[in-house]
Amino acid sequence: MKKNVVLMGVLTLLVVTGSWAFAGEWDDIRTHCVGELVKPCDAVYATLQEAHDAADRPGESIIISPGVHNVGRAVLTKSVRIRSVNRRSKSVLSDANLEPGGPFITVRRPAGSTDPVKRVIFEDLDFEIGNSSVVISFPDDVEKSFVQRNTITCLSPGITGVEYAEHGNAFSGRVDRTTFTNCATGVFMGAGTRHFRIEKNEFFTKNGDTAIQYRARQGQIFWNDITCMGGDCIALKIEGSDLTDINNNNIFGGTAQWLVHEGRSNDSIEFDHNVYKNPPNGTPFLVETSPGVFTEEYTLDPSCGTSWSRNQIVIGSEVEVLPRYRTSFCSFK
């Protein structure tokens, strides 16, 4: 009987938080609303920043009520969960009333602190952003972050959807089941990220856009659908994590995957079961074997600890499954 009670408690916690948590980590959770007061909110606020500032315990929820909300830019320094009322409600965050500027939402450690933000969750939200450089930005350390089941629409050129900084340490997390439309870069993973999964997302790109730009040393890119809606699109742009010698000055037509010469300290990167739709010119997958030199051969060894399998190219009704490829795994000190 006691075992059943414990199991029920764990399952209840999983349902409430949307992820596993440990005793004490999410105790005494309060809920704050932005827009209108809906159940189960304790209070309502006009802006996301005000709702965040009112949270005083790790794991408190911020619910964005249904409708379109101009909530202003926000800097988040606490462990919070930002979500809609439920998966069926359409809660839209917009920056239409803002002047052009920096990131719409920034997640960073508090000023003067060396402790990272423990956990931040964004789920079941719609972002319509046209006046901010980045939709969600992580400029420094964060332990766990989850961007899941969202819709991110970039309304102006040059906007990045989700960005993890070059020198921050993002220890683990996921960007999954999110739709990115018309973003110059859908997801940017800087060199400091570890143990991330980018999976089951949809990317709709246009001329010059990059769906995923990846400089991290570790991670998994699985089950993503990337559709080029015209022009020269890049599906996966995989670069070395050595920031002193990155060759990213070349622009190539088609959907390209870039692996910097000799890996540049990349290890344990996997990209499997991704689908690239409608790439132009039939050259969707390129490997950089030396600086500025690209090939369509998949049997070379351009990187340490890199693998891919069951990736597909779809042009009209034609489907091509790319060969399975795996390099020898290495470690870097």
The sign of the dihedral angle between the CA atoms of 283, 220, 117, 192 is negative
Q: Across 40-54, 124-138, 194-208, 281-295, which has the greatest mean pLDDT? A: 124-138
Instruction: In whole angstroms, give the CA distance from residue 138 to residue 75.
Output: 10
Judge contact between 146 and 174, C-beta under 8 A: yes
pLDDT (0 to 100) of residue 13: 43
Q: How many CA atoms lie within 13 A of 280 on its CB side?
A: 14
Judge contact between 298 and 306, C-beta under 8 A: no
Mean pLDDT of 76-105: 93
Q: Which two tokens stand for residue 218?
A: 């570790």
| Surface-to-core class of residue 136, CB atoms within 10 Å of its CB (0-12 exposed, 13-18 middle, 19+ buried) | buried
Give the CA distances from residue 173 to residues 126, 164, 199, 206, in Å, rounded to whole numbers and listed in that order.
20, 11, 11, 27
CATH architecture of 24-326: 3 Solenoid (2.160)
Q: In the structure, what pLDDT confidence band is assigned to residue 309 with cuts at 50, 70 and 90? A: low
Q: In this model, does residue 189 exceed pLDDT 80?
A: yes
Written as one string, the DSSP assignment of 151-178 is: EEEE-STT-EEEEE-SS--EEEEEEES-
Sheet with 179-181, edge to edge strand ranges: 67-70, 91-94, 126-129, 151-154, 179-181, 202-205, 225-228, 275-277, 312-315, 318-321
pLDDT (0 to 100) of residue 83: 94
Q: In the structure, what pLDDT confidence band is assigned to residue 135 with cuts at 50, 70 and 90? A: very high
Q: What radius of gyration, in Å, describes the C-alpha atoms of the chain?
A: 21
Q: In this model, does residue 259 exceed pLDDT 70?
A: no
59: left (phi over 0), alpha (psi -120 to 50) or beta: left
The single-letter code of the amino acid at 146 is F
In the chain, where are the structural domains located? Answer: 24-326
pLDDT (0 to 100) of residue 82: 96
Least confident residue range of 22-26, 48-52, 163-167, 229-233: 22-26
Q: In the structure, what pLDDT confidence band is assigned to residue 173 with cuts at 50, 70 and 90? A: confident
pLDDT (0 to 100) of residue 219: 78
pLDDT (0 to 100) of residue 38: 82
Q: In this model, does residue 175 exceed pLDDT 90?
A: yes
Least confident residue range of 157-161, 165-169, 211-215, 311-315: 165-169
pLDDT (0 to 100) of residue 199: 94
Mean pLDDT of 184-196: 85
Mean pLDDT of 293-320: 57
pLDDT (0 to 100) of residue 152: 99
Q: What is the mean pLDDT of the chain?
A: 75
Q: In this model, does residue 18 exceed pLDDT 60?
A: no
Pairing of strands 117-123, 80-84: parallel
**Collapsing DSSP states into helix, strand and coil, what is residue 2?**
helix
DSSP H helices in the chain = 2-17, 48-54
Ramachandran angles phi, psi of 235, nearest 5°: -80, -60
CA angle at 221 for the pair 137 and 204, rounded to the nearest 5°: 70
pLDDT (0 to 100) of residue 319: 73
CA angle at 99 for the pair 98 and 102, rounded to the nearest 5°: 95
pLDDT (0 to 100) of residue 331: 34
Mean pLDDT of 261-271: 52
